[in-house]
């Protein structure tokens, strides 16, 4: 609504302007355009203020410029450009920091269990109680992203990263100095909560910087660093034990070196990470412009020249702004214009707002919704439930490897390092091949082109375009349906091998299992994100919760499982479950393909819909 300077700003609305036009994205990124002050005599401090929605593509209006000595300088708006338009170098810096953070969170998870026996002896407890530290870590990792995700959307990625980084570092240091097992278990919860932000919010950063078509390679790198970290953590931790022996110094340095690495990461984030949340940058841009307009008005310079042909959409009638709702006037451009430097121009006082920001619910309400919605989707959406179960079991196998290797090779560093090295190698190979697979989805003969494009006469590519489109969410599953089978195959190979292959079969088998886990993790993440879109964060939070809860439980039951069932029996059970879950996705995809073929057949169904 319209008002003079005497009315508080929260009581102002704007006139209605509902037509959204294609605006010039090139204007206003460095500074606002200016025009002579002539023609603005009819705009003063008593003129009404109109609120308009600001986007990254909004062409900023021109403003009157009198003598330079009395005019405040134009604001530099380059820091507030859309993250999708950042340079490749700037994007890659953010990606590198994000991958480093993801690596260290997975590294932290893997470092904990190899020295568990030494920790139990020093803190006068049992190994199974010490292993509970993995449960508390995963509990913090499971719940924290649900509450913190909306905060990163409101306040931005940077402050959440910094606060989480401080919690991460301080909690790691606390683990090293605590004299009681209860203190260690509590500190591990906060280690998990701090680490979870770097793992979960990094996916949001990638979505901020790349659109859907370009997101595959960054996501593959992100997922690869997760699994490389899970192999590097226990490898380095085992090396400390080999170097210092079963001593207090060994497990203390296992924790202290993590705190040092995490501290370095925190410093790098403070120095080099730039805010990437688009809505936050846009809100800052609006605040910067509004502040400049207020400075201009304090110098007696009122109004801007807004062209009717390129006007941004105004705040809709009766829409609440800053928790108020007041009736609005007529359309701005239906009113008699003040003639300025163009007959189609409108000289008026304006302020910018960001769409969605004026009606955002309180932070605590958003956090409550963010916690409730994933559980609602988990139990009401079959797709979310099935993919969460698939990902959770795969993640449990990964966390099982943290315990089963010390259980099988507690006194042999060479055999342990062989397994951990195979895990890291498998993660690297899987990442490289995943990038190649994603590039194959972009093959010009596979993609459907809107413009005229000469396709080859290949029946194979015609079949792929028709029944396996590369732009559908199911495209995320095509290759995973094959490589995910490495998970059960690797488990069978690792634990059912002949006696003479011991020491090598476990390494090769678990390496292939990790390759399968990588495929499941990447496919689940991408498929849920593409399928649910606006609700993707809740769907991903649901599967993150399931992954970490089951992953935290498995290390507790490893010793009992392998002792009571034996290595072969445990391998058969785990491999069988993995086979059922992995082949279920293959069956679903084949069933979808067969249904499409059946729909093309005139003989498969009669006119009443019953089979002939």
pLDDT tens for residues 442-461?
Answer: 777 777 776 677 777 777 77
470 plus 579 within the same structural domain: yes
Q: Please report whether residue 568 resides in a domain.
A: yes
Q: How confident is the model at residue 586 (pLDDT cuts 50, 70, 90)?
A: low
pLDDT at 319 over 70: no
pLDDT, position 590: 57
261 plus 392 within the same structural domain: yes
Could you tell me the two tokens for 127?
A: 């190994």
Average of per-residue pLDDT across 486-514: 87
Q: What percent of the chain has pLDDT over 90?
A: 27
Which run of H or of E encompasses 364? helix 363-380
Q: How confident is the model at residue 97 (pLDDT cuts 50, 70, 90)?
A: very high
Q: Please report whether residue 609 resides in a domain.
A: no
pLDDT, position 359: 64
Q: Which of 548, 573, 558 is nearest to 113 (CA)?
A: 558
pLDDT, position 27: 38
3-state helix, strand, coil split of the chain in percent (to 5) is 65, 5, 30
Average of per-residue pLDDT across 95-107: 94
Q: Please report whether residue 309 resides in a domain.
A: yes
pLDDT at 117 over 90: no
Burial status of residue 300 (CB atoms within 10 A of its CB: 0-12, 13-18, 19 or more): exposed
Could you tell me the two tokens for 416?
A: 């342990």
Q: How confident is the model at residue 558 (pLDDT cuts 50, 70, 90)?
A: confident
Q: Please report whether residue 346 resides in a domain.
A: no
pLDDT, position 155: 85
How do residues 331-366 score in pLDDT, each as one tens digit?
333 333 344 444 456 778 889 988 866 666 777 787
pLDDT, position 15: 30
Top-ranked range on mean pLDDT: pick from 286-300, 309-323, 587-601: 286-300
Least confident of 126-130, 377-381, 595-599: 595-599
| Residue 500: CB atoms within 10 Å | 8
238 plus 296 within the same structural domain: no
Q: State how far the Cα of 552 lies from the Cα of 565, in Å rounded to an integer.
A: 21
216 plus 92 within the same structural domain: yes
Q: Please report whether residue 392 resides in a domain.
A: yes
168 plus 289 within the same structural domain: no
**What DSSP line would sit under 87-153, residue for residue?**
-HHHHHHHHHHHHHHHHHHHHHHHHSSTTHHHHHHHTTS-HHHHHHHHHHHHHHHHHHHHHHHHHHH
Residue 585 belongs to a domain with what CATH number?
1.20.1250.20
Average of per-residue pLDDT across 8-26: 33
Q: Please report whether residue 453 resides in a domain.
A: no
Q: Which SS3 state, helix, strand or coil, does residue 64 take? A: strand
58 plus 95 within the same structural domain: no
Residue 554 near residue 398, CB atoms below 8 Å: no
pLDDT, position 310: 59
Average of per-residue pLDDT across 134-145: 91
Q: How confident is the model at residue 191 (pLDDT cuts 50, 70, 90)?
A: very high
pLDDT, position 503: 75
Q: How confident is the model at residue 411 (pLDDT cuts 50, 70, 90)?
A: low
Q: How confident is the model at residue 320 (pLDDT cuts 50, 70, 90)?
A: very low
Top-ranked range on mean pLDDT: pick from 25-34, 272-281, 441-450: 272-281
236 plus 293 within the same structural domain: no
pLDDT at 373 over 70: yes
pLDDT, position 597: 47
Q: State how far the Cα of 34 lies from the Cα of 41, in Å rounded to an integer.
A: 16
pLDDT, position 264: 96
145 plus 111 within the same structural domain: yes
CA distances from 34 to 47, 71, 282, 306, 600 (A): 20, 11, 21, 12, 62
Question: Into how many domains does the chain fold?
Answer: 2
Strand boundaries in 286-390, DSSP class E: 304-307, 345-353
321 plus 423 within the same structural domain: no
pLDDT at 508 over 50: yes
| Structural domain for 288, as ranges | 9-74+279-327
Q: Please report whether residue 162 resides in a domain.
A: yes
Least confident of 115-129, 149-163, 180-194, 524-538: 524-538
pLDDT, position 122: 92
Rounded mean pLDDT of the chain? 78
How do residues 463-482 score in pLDDT, each as one tens digit?
777 777 777 777 777 888 88
Could you tell me the two tokens for 91?
A: 């994007």
Instruction: Name residue, tokens 């034990």.
Output: 241
319 plus 428 within the same structural domain: no
167 plus 301 within the same structural domain: no
Q: How confident is the model at residue 135 (pLDDT cuts 50, 70, 90)?
A: very high
Q: Which of 262, 261, 98, 255 is nearest to 165 (CA)?
A: 262
Q: Which of 187, 188, 224, 211 is nearest to 98 (CA)?
A: 224
Q: How confident is the model at residue 612 (pLDDT cuts 50, 70, 90)?
A: very low
Q: Please report whether residue 357 resides in a domain.
A: no
How do residues 217-243 score in pLDDT, each as one tens digit?
898 898 889 888 988 988 898 888 888
Top-ranked range on mean pLDDT: pick from 5-14, 274-283, 359-368: 274-283
pLDDT at 92 over 80: yes
Task: Return the half-sphere exposure (C-beta side, CA atoms, 13 A cut-off) of residue 387.
Answer: 31
pLDDT, position 19: 32
533 plus 575 within the same structural domain: yes
């Amino acid at each position: 609504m319209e008002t003079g300077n005497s009315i508080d700003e929260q009581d102002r609305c704007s006139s209605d302007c509902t037509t959204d036009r294609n605006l010039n994205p090139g204007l206003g990124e460095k500074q606002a355009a200016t025009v002579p002050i002539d023609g603005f005599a009819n705009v003063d401090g008593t003129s009404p203020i109109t609120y308009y929605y600001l986007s990254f593509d909004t062409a900023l209006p021109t403003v009157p410029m009198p003598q330079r000595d009395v005019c405040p300088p134009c604001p530099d708006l380059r820091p507030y450009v859309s993250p999708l338009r950042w340079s490749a170098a700037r994007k890659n810096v953010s990606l590198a920091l994000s991958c480093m953070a993801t690596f260290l969170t997975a590294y932290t998870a893997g470092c904990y269990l190899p020295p568990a026996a030494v920790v139990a002896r020093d803190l006068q407890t049992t190994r199974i109680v010490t292993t509970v530290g993995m449960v508390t870590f995963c509990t913090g990792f499971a719940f924290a992203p649900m509450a913190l995700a909306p905060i990163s959307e409101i306040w931005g990625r940077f402050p959440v990263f910094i606060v989480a980084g401080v919690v991460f570092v301080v909690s790691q240091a606390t683990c090293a100095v605590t004299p009681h097992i209860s203190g260690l278990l509590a500190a591990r919860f906060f280690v998990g909560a701090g680490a979870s932000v770097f793992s979960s919010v990094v996916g949001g950063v990638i979505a901020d910087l790349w659109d859907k078509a370009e997101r595959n390679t960054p996501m593959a790198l992100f997922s690869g660093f997760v699994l490389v970290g899970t192999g590097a953590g226990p490898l380095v931790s085992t090396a400390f034990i080999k170097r210092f022996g079963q001593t207090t110094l060994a497990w203390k340095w296992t924790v202290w070196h993590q705190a040092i690495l995490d501290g370095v990461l925190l410093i790098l984030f403070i120095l080099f990470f730039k805010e990437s949340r688009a809505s936050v940058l846009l809100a800052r841009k609006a605040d910067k412009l509004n502040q400049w307009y207020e400075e201009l008005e304090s110098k007696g310079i009122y109004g801007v020249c807004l062209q009717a042909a390129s006007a941004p959409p105004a705040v809709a009638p009766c829409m609440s702004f800053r928790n108020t709702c007041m009736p609005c006037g007529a359309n701005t451009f239906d009113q008699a214009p003040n003639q300025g430097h163009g007959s189609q121009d409108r000289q008026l006082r304006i302020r910018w707002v960001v769409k969605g920001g004026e009606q955002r619910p309180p932070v605590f309400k958003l956090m409550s919704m963010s916690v409730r919605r994933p559980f609602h989707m988990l139990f009401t959406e079959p797709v979310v439930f099935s993919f969460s179960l698939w990902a959770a079991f795969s993640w449990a196998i990964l966390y099982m490897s943290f315990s089963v290797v010390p259980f099988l090779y507690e006194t042999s560093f060479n055999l342990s390092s062989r397994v951990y090295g195979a895990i890291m190698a498998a993660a690297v190979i899987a990442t490289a091949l995943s990038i190649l697979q994603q590039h194959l989805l972009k093959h010009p003969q596979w993609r459907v082109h809107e413009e005229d494009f000469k396709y080859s006469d290949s029946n194979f590519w015609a079949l792929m375009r028709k029944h396996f489109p590369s732009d559908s969410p199911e495209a995320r599953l095509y290759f995973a349906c094959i490589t995910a089978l490495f998970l059960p195959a690797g488990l069978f190979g690792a634990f059912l091998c002949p006696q003479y292959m011991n020491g090598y079969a476990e390494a090769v088998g678990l390496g292939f299992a990790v390759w399968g886990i990588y495929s499941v993790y990447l496919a689940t993440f991408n498929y849920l994100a593409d399928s649910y879109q606006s609700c993707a964060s809740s769907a991903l939070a649901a599967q993150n919760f399931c992954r970490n809860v089951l992953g935290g439980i498995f290390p507790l039951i490893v010793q009992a499982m392998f002792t009571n069932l034996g290595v072969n029996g445990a391998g058969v059970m785990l491999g069988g479950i993995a086979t059922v879950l992995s082949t279920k996705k293959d069956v679903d995809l084949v069933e979808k393909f067969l249904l499409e073929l059946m729909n093309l057949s005139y003989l498969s169904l009669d006119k009443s819909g019953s089979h002939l």
